[in-house]
Amino acid sequence: MTAKSAAAISSIQIAGENSADVLKSIFRPLGKIVEFNEGNILHGFLFDKDKDIDEVVIGCEQTDSFSINCHGNPLIVENILELLKKHGVKITEPDAVLAYILHRKYGSNTIAAEADIAMAKAATIYGAKIIRHQTKMGLLQTAEWWLENLNVLEPDDIKSGAERILNDSRIADLFIEGARVVIAGAPNSGKSTLFNYLCGKDKAIVTDIAGTTRDWLAAKVRLKRITVEFFDTAGLDETPAGKNAVDAESQKQAAGLIETADLVLLVLDMTKQTEFRISAKNVLAVYNKYDLAKDLLADGLKISAKTGSGVKELVGEIERRLGVYDFDIKKTVCFTDRQKKITGEIVSARTKQQIKELITELLKGAVVV
């Protein structure tokens, strides 16, 4: 289950109806004999005939699923795998083992099985709560209700409900996976200073020379409700003529990040009376250097990236603009690509039979790990 390289510890998962019998025949416990009961942790040696292979710790995770934790030397791992093969164990990839374990645990409840995987990867506690809700009153209950009442429901009602779920899923993804926020603007507008302040330390070089940042930098920051990956980009130049190859590539990279961002912070220098616009789907104008131009009027969020004035309000506005500030974490959403794909197909389905097949696939389809 761990990487196939040298490490301090490696983990081998053995699962199946006869897995406990196999382990009993090759495991010699240290101290008193302990049963292979669910929840037990066993310490001892794996042996082949009269020869010890390695000292291991075995975790009894389920009645037919065990984790062998051994030393991370690849030769030791290979010897243990060969020992298991001698006793009729089939060696397979981790995904296949995980799929088997989840099927044994949840049966045909695919959404619950997917939640087990997704919750471990959630970026925030809110994300984990959103996922957990889908196994009780959320996606699972909605899909089951659709299926039970398919004969009396109009297809358009189900399709509009599916479309609403997909829309809410886009915001839920920000809790589960985190958001991408790009800091953009003209050269020397204070982008890197703001980036450093949000990160809590100096990651970007800051000077009074315009164009200091040539490449982009990234850092993950936990806000109140979500985790955000901030990107500090090269200053955007609205007059591209005369750029050298490095500047042109910097502009290209910045444009690419802006295109894929969940939100763009357009940093504007309040000490300069120049207009600056960018084309992006979600832009928040941030007027910087407020400490140097308090007498100037500007419609928008005013901050000083140097002193931190207004940054707290900026963080709150970021979460509002992303839609997470007042998002109900008990909404029904999809949290895997498989679920989103099927729900999208429900939206475009033409017949009740197609909808029925898709809902059944949503509830009982194969787990993608």
Per residue of the chain (369 residues), give pLDDT as tens: 988 888 899 999 999 999 999 999 999 999 776 789 999 999 999 999 889 999 999 999 988 999 999 999 999 999 999 999 999 999 998 888 888 888 888 999 999 999 998 998 999 999 999 999 999 899 999 999 999 999 999 999 999 999 999 999 999 999 999 999 999 988 888 999 999 999 886 554 444 444 444 566 899 999 999 999 999 988 776 555 445 665 666 777 878 899 999 999 999 988 876 666 777 789 999 999 888 876 665 567 899 999 999 999 999 999 999 999 999 999 999 999 999 999 999 999 999 999 999 999 999 998 877
**CA nearest to 11, candidates 53, 67, 56:** 67
Which of the 8 DSSP states describes residue 292?
G
Q: Return d(Cα 320, Cα 306) in angstroms, integer.
A: 24
Burial 280-305 (b: 16+ CB within 10 A, else e): beebbbbbbbbeebeeeeeeebbbbb
43's tokens: 């310490």
Q: Phi/psi at 170 (nearest 5 deg)?
A: -65, -40
353's tokens: 């039979």
Q: Phi/psi at 249 (nearest 5 deg)?
A: -65, -40
138-141 long-range contacts, CB within 8 A, separation 24+: 138/330, 138/331, 138/332, 138/333, 139/111, 139/165, 139/332, 139/333, 139/334, 139/335, 139/339, 139/362, 140/109, 140/111, 140/112, 140/363, 141/332
For 12, the enclosing helix (H) or strand (E) is strand 9-15
The segment(s) of the chain belonging to CATH 3.40.50.300 are: 123-369
CA 128 to centroid of chain Cα atoms? 11
From the candidate CATH numbers 3.30.1360.120, 1.10.10.10, 1.20.1090.10, 1.20.58.220, the one assigned to the domain spanning 9-91: 3.30.1360.120
Residue whose tokens read 């645990």:
105
The segment(s) of the chain belonging to CATH 3.30.1360.120 are: 9-91
Give the HSE-up count for residue 271: Cα atoms under 13 Å, Cβ half-sphere.
9
Q: What is the CA radius of gyration of the chain?
A: 27
- Please, are residues 211 and 191 in contact by the beta-carbon 8 Å criterion? no
Report, at the CATH architecture level, how domain 123-369 is classified. Answer: 3-Layer(aba) Sandwich (3.40)
Q: Return d(Cα 248, Cα 240) in angstroms, integer.
A: 8
